Homo-oligomer: A and B are copies of this chain.
Amino acid sequence: MAGQLAERGHVLIGQSGGPTAVINASLVGAIHEAQRLDAVDGIYGALNGIEGALARRIIDLRRESAATLQALLHTPSAALGSCRYKLQPEDPARAVNLMRELGIRYFLYIGGNDSADTAHRVAQAAEEMGYDLRVIGIPKTIDNDLPVTDHCPGYGSAARFIAMMTQDSARNTEAMPEHYPVKIIEVMGRYAGWLAAAAALGRQKPEDAPHLIYMPEYAFDPNDFLSRVRATVRQRSYCVVVVAEHLADAAGRQLGEAMAQGVDAFGHPLVAGVAQTLVDLVRSELGMRARFDKPGDMQRMSTMHISATDRDEAYQAGRMALRYAVRGVTGKMVTLVRTNGPRYACETGLADLERIANEQKLMPANYVTPDGVNVTPAFLDYVRPLIGDPLPQHATLRGERLQ
């Protein structure tokens, strides 16, 4: 790790991977910090992440107005554009050469596991090439599957969306259970159940939806699923099931695999159709009407569901990333560290980019009930502070019957 740089340098910031509701808050945090720090001269933005940087698609962020930066705090998605680009063998050296040429001393990369891998390789190349570049990753993913960090910026807002929308949508089924008693809601999360689990936060009463939650960490058993759906409909007259986008049976076969459409640049399979598969299963095996909601990309970035806590933490992560870099840190990702105490609070820490790139944090066993289809109070305690303000509560009639 190098110490304080003798001369001023420029910072280059990029956004990568699936955008979130608060990834721009991290960008703004970094820009604000850069404006404050004497060590930083030019403030550059890479359009579409490392892919754009390699193509010299770089903009001057000092030309953006204070009002634009302020408004970006409330603007979801990646203002710089994003990418899912896997580095080619020659790319890290090319990136370092470009940065040397442009006088870039600080490289901040906002993203998830794959982006940490990109940042790690660039940091390695800089070291090998003897160029004093400080590379810091800023965590970002709605999937919440990065190791070390307590949670990931972007998750709290997506969790808020999923909790509220499950409750909103379930009210429709509850109001008219005869019409179609079974509803499947398919959410994202890659191979982790953090997002599906967050649906439980919307419950106002214990009997509220979601009645069943299926997470990728547990093998999916169609017969068990069907018997639970049948039992829930018998008991409550309707059943709302939240399912992760990736579910596999005990043999490892992906649900809806027949509808798979290939793999992305990192080799992750692109699968469609878990919800449709389960709807078909309920119809054919239980003879019940079923429908599905699939919010899709809406859950990444709903303007109306941004968690203020999530936004503030994303902003702080951006600020601290640059502060760490100027202090001489490189090859690390900023982490969020929950402090002990009666009230929720978070500080920032650091973790090796290499570790972030190669590990996936799944839902721990103590966050899931033994039956595998619900979450524990410990999980709710973990996630509740992340979604910001308390959720609006729905009123219900006391409904005193006549006579």
A residues adjacent to B (C-beta < 8 A):
15, 18-19, 24, 44-45, 47-48, 51, 56-61, 63-64, 68, 71-72, 74-84, 102, 164-165, 167-169, 171-176, 178-179, 183, 185, 261, 264, 270, 272-273, 276, 279, 283, 289, 291-298, 300-305, 392-402
Contact = CB atoms under 8 A, between A and B. Distances in A.
A226 to B, nearest CB: 17
Contacts of A270: 289
A401 B303 contact: no
A295 B298 contact: yes
> What is the oligomeric copy number?
2
Contacts of A289: 261, 270
Counting from the closest, the 10 A-B pairs by CB-CB distance are: A293-B296, A77-B171, A71-B395, A304-B304, A172-B297, A78-B175, A169-B297, A75-B394, A63-B400, A58-B402
Contact of A298 (B61, B168, B174, B175): B168
Contacts of A71: 393-395
Given A81-B175, A102-B402, 11 more contacts: A45-B399, A68-B397, A72-B395, A75-B395, A79-B396, A165-B302, A168-B297, A169-B297, A171-B301, A293-B298, A295-B295
Q: With a 10 A CB-CB cut-off, give which of A24, A79, A80 has the most chain B CB atoms.
A: A79
Contacts of A298: 165, 168-169, 293, 295
A286 B77 CA distance: 27
A82 B72 CA distance: 42
15 contacts: A48-B176, A60-B400, A74-B395, A77-B172, A78-B175, A79-B395, A84-B178, A168-B297, A168-B301, A171-B301, A272-B279, A293-B295, A302-B304, A304-B304, A304-B392
A289 B260 CA distance: 12
A19 B176 CA distance: 9
A169 B295 CA distance: 9
A178 B185 CA distance: 27
Nearest to A184: B296
B276 A83 contact: no
Contacts of A47: 399
A323 to B, nearest CB: 23
Q: With a 10 A CB-CB cut-off, give which of A19, A72, A75, A394 has the most chain B CB atoms.
A: A394
A392 B303 contact: yes
Contacts of A56: 402
Given A68-B398, A76-B394, A401-B58, A169 B296 contact: yes
